[in-house]
Amino acid sequence: MAEKMNVESFSLDHTQVKAPYVRLVGVTTGANGDNVYKYDIRFKQPNQEHMDMPGLHSIEHLMAENIRNHLDNVLDIGPMGCQTGFYLTVFNNDSYEDVLNALEKTFHDVLQAKEVPACNEEQCGWAANHSLEGAQAIAEKMLNGKDEWRQVFAEKA
């Protein structure tokens, strides 16, 4: 196992996980007692597959806009640089079930979308780099693997 590092995900053995999954990365308590919960939402198997940028970019817009309709206290949802997943941060909501339910509803919203929100030069830094169809394919695959979301690690042979 690699040495413990400052970034939690750098200490995670990516060869032992099995996507798709939703994993609580950690909880940080602020000076005033607020708790911030960070989740690893892994869409693709690390080092074997990744999301293409237009689809990833569009599902980012769609999830950022829609998850807030289903989950209170969302701070942010953003893609991983490796293009295999997203990080979701919420505050003062310690319910893993709430997160799973909100994600499921959000992915259904993606499948029902007719357009990508904020997909224009005024609201987006790379408006030409979007694919609604790509985002919907990513969401559909994630929903098809919903029964696996709770299992982070591959079973040992």
CATH of the domain at 117: 3.30.1360.80
The H or E element that residue 97 is part of is: helix 96-112
Amino acid 151: pLDDT: 96
Annotated binding site: 57, 61, 124
Tell me the pLDDT of the chain averaged across its residues.
Answer: 95
In a domain, 40, yes or no: yes
Is 43 a member of any domain? yes
Instruction: Provide the pLDDT confidence category of residue 6 given band limits of 50, 70 and 90.
Output: confident
Whether 64 maps to a domain, the answer reads yes
In a domain, 155, yes or no: no
Q: Give the pLDDT confidence of 58-77 residue by residue, as tens digits.
A: 999 999 999 999 999 999 99
pLDDT tens figures, 17-35? 999 999 999 999 999 999 9
**Which letter does DSSP use for residue 49 in this model?**
-
Q: Has residue 154 been placed in a domain?
A: no
Sign of the C-alpha dihedral, residues 70, 96, 112, 59? positive
| Statement: residue 43 has pLDDT above 60 | yes
Question: Does residue 157 have a pLDDT over 60?
Answer: yes
pTM of the shown model: 0.94
Whether omega before 54 lies within 30 degrees of 0, making that bond cis, reads no
Residue 2: inside a domain:
no
Whether 6 is in a domain gets the answer: no
pLDDT at 99 over 80: yes
Scored b (16 or more CB within 10 A) or e, 70-98 reads bbeebeebebbeeebbbebbbeebeeeee
Give yes or no for residue 7 having a pLDDT over 90.
no
**Residue set of the binding site for Fe cation:** 57, 61, 124
In a domain, 157, yes or no: no
Count the domains in the chain.
Answer: 1
Range of the domain at 118: 12-148
Does the pLDDT of residue 5 top 70, yes or no?
yes
